[in-house]
Amino acid sequence: MANLVYKRVSTDQQSTARQNLVLDEAGIEDPVAFEENPGTSSRLHPLQGPKFRELLTYARSGDTVHISEMFRLVRGTGHILDVLDVLHRDQVAVRIHDGAVSCMDLTARHPRTGELLSTVKFMVQTLAAAGELQRDLQRELTYDGLRAAEAKGNKGGRRPAVTADKTSAVRTAYLENRSIAALARHGVSRGAIRTAVADLMPDHTAIEENAPAPELPVTLDMPGKVADFLRTTDLEPAERAALDQGVTVRRGQGYTLRVSTLTPCP
């Protein structure tokens, strides 16, 4: 009976370091690892993931699939039930090593009906729904932030550089004592103007257009239940630090977590 380990990250900027830690601590004997390519979309149904399909082809009756946490495999309520049906059909067990379902046999069936146990079904559907809520909230907050920025006249993306045909005019205007702020009102950034006239400036120091923007503090209040859920997910180090440093604000029976972080100035 083989121990099959499955790993997946959402983007090529993430790593499997946290998954490796959880799985290593589990003490899995002779693991056979299957790791999805970082370029594989997280929206893809897990049964269509190249490495998970390879895992299912390799698996034999009595084998166990080991995953650090449920959301490394599935993202939606429908997906998890599809996966559990296939694993049950092939008589392959699954073990989640971190999170709320880490102590449950997710392939457990009723001894007489053969259907997935109602308690297992409820737990996995609830957690998958919580994951969908988290992503929906992130999309809504991002959209609201962009709308607020647009209302103030700010638009996303990098402002264009000074084009070659306008460079001479910009340099002439600067020599005529036009300010950089005034020259930047015509659709380009102040950094772009400084780059175009760098050798004309008193210190002769060019300022790079790609220089890091200053950072401003941003505060977000999130419901306590959402904060509790996020603590069980695979966050980036900066996200985890912001969550850990959050301030608890009591709200009746529950609480709100006030999280502060820094964001580049537009």
Check: CB of residue 77 under 8 Å from CB of residue 128: yes
State percent of the chain over pLDDT 70: 70
pLDDT of residue 163 exceeding 70:
yes
- Assess whether pLDDT exceeds 70 at residue 19: yes
pLDDT in tens, 120-159: 667 666 766 666 666 677 778 777 777 777 777 766 555 5
Confidence of residue 209 (pLDDT cuts 50, 70, 90): very low
* 216 has a pLDDT exceeding 60: no
Return the pLDDT at 206. 43
123-137, 182-196, 198-212 — most confident range: 182-196
Maximum average pLDDT range among 62-76, 93-107, 151-165: 62-76
What pLDDT shows up at residue 208? 47
Give the highest mean pLDDT range of 10-14, 22-26, 36-40, 119-123: 22-26
18-37 mean pLDDT: 90
Residue 264 — very low, low, confident or very high, per pLDDT cuts 50/70/90?
very low
What are the CA-CA distances from residue 253 to residues 222, 228, 245, 250 (Å)? Answer: 15, 15, 22, 8
pLDDT of residue 265: 43
Q: What is the mean pLDDT of residues 105-131?
A: 69
Q: Is the pLDDT of residue 20 over 70?
A: yes
User: Mean per-residue pLDDT for 53-81?
Assistant: 82
